[in-house]
């Protein structure tokens, strides 16, 4: 059973979804700065480790709420693996051979998978016409942003890498469904999940990439700290809080906002040109959010 019933997103929820997407989008800029010096697996391990250093002491200071029973521990362990360890490694590996546009397109399938998974495995986050329209609008925004060439890239790129990206998307969706079954406050849950993830990623990084690189440059160090505090720490708290409140099918729309805001950051921070496609993509994604924020007739009837 889910821990609490979900509700239609309000303005604060929409604002937090946009904030989470912006934070995750900015993380790609930080990754490009840090990963040449750290390596992809060590980058994942170190950013999660920094997230632990931020969140776990706060949870202990507030009074840690520990899982009750073996079933809850098992759910948290599985969620941490599927939400942190597995997708981080999969996406890093797939990125070695796939173009960013193809990766964005494949990750854009996440909301479809979330909609289906939530419909099959929850009682209060069922598929509706409104939710389907919002997902279609968001995916249309991704297609407009990456362009038709991304579809041709599906035919020429590595099939195994494409399957790995889809598996990473499935991993995130499964973790999102598990979060609603876990009875812990969001900050404590994020801290514990990152702790479990770090305990797995550090040995994997040693095995795959050897000892970590020492003497990082100041830009790489700053990017690494930013990744740990914001895209890993704060954004994960927002993720856990919003999934509990509005359900994973709606929250998954943030996936489609990430490449759009990544493009926007490129315009404002790197001076890249603003294109008509990027404006149209933003309009489609925000339209999807607007549709998702409406109340479904079935929910209105249930609450009246």
Q: What is the pLDDT of residues 150-169, one digit of tens each?
A: 566 555 557 788 888 889 88
Give how many domains the chain has, as a whole number: 1
Distance (Å, whole) CA 17 – CA 118: 18
pLDDT number for residue 284: 82
Residue 112 covered by a domain? yes
Q: 274: number of CA atoms within 13 Å, CB side?
A: 9
Mean pLDDT, all residues of the chain: 80
pLDDT at 299 over 60: no
pLDDT at 136 over 60: yes
Residue 163 covered by a domain? yes
pTM of the model: 0.77
* Burial class, 210, CB count within 10 angstroms (exposed 0-12 / middle 13-18 / buried 19+): exposed
pLDDT at 206 over 90: yes
Instruction: Dihedral sign for Cα 21, 22, 28, 31, please.
Output: negative
**193 vs 183, more confident:** 193
Distance (Å, whole) CA 121 – CA 231: 28
- Tokens 């929820």 belong to 13
Q: What is the pLDDT of residues 84-126, one digit of tens each?
A: 889 878 887 777 777 666 777 777 777 777 778 777 767 766 7
Residue 4 covered by a domain? no
Residue 2 covered by a domain? no
Residue 226 covered by a domain? yes
Give percent of the chain with pLDDT exceeding 70.
88
**12 vs 181, more confident:** 12
pLDDT number for residue 296: 56
Instruction: Dihedral sign for Cα 150, 156, 158, 163, please.
Output: positive
Residue 5 covered by a domain? no
Could you tell me the residue range of the domain that residue 290 belongs to? 11-303
Residues 6+ apart with CB under 8 A from 111: 135, 138, 139, 249, 252, 253, 255, 256
pLDDT grade for 300, boundaries at 50, 70 and 90: very low
Give percent of the chain with pLDDT exceeding 90.
14
Residue 268 covered by a domain? yes
Asked if residues 218 and 40 have their Cβ atoms less than 8 Å apart, the reply is no
Residue 193 covered by a domain? yes
């Amino acid at each position: 059973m889910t821990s609490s019933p979900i509700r239609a997103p309000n303005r604060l929820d929409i604002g937090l979804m946009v904030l989470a997407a912006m934070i995750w989008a900015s993380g790609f800029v930080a990754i490009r700065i840090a990963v040449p010096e750290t390596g992809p697996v060590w980058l994942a391990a170190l950013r999660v480790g920094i997230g632990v250093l931020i969140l776990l002491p706060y949870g202990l200071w507030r009074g840690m709420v520990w899982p009750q029973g073996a079933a809850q521990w098992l759910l948290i362990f599985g969620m941490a693996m599927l939400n942190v360890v597995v997708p981080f490694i999969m996406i890093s590996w797939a990125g070695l051979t796939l173009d960013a546009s193809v990766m964005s397109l494949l990750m854009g399938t996440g909301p479809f998978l979330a909609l289906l998974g939530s419909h099959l495995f929850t009682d209060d986050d069922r598929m509706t016409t409104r939710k389907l329209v919002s997902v279609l609008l968001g995916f249309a925004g991704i297609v407009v942003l990456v362009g038709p060439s991304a579809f041709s890239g599906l035919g020429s790129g590595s099939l195994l890498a494409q399957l790995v990206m889809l598996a990473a998307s499935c991993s995130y969706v499964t973790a999102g469904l598990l979060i609603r079954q876990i009875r812990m406050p969001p900050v404590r849950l994020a801290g514990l999940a990152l702790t479990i993830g770090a305990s797995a990623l550090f040995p994997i990084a040693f095995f795959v990439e050897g000892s970590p690189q020492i003497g990082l440059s100041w830009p790489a160090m700053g990017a690494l700290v930013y990744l740990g505090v914001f895209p890993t720490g704060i954004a994960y708290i927002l993720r856990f809080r919003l999934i509990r409140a509005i359900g994973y099918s709606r929250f998954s729309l943030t996936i489609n906002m990430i490449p759009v805001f990544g493009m926007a950051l490129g315009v404002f921070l790197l001076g890249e040109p603003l294109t008509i496609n990027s404006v149209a993509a933003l309009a489609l994604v925000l339209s999807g959010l607007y549709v998702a924020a409406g109340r479904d007739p079935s929910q209105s009837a249930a609450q009246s």
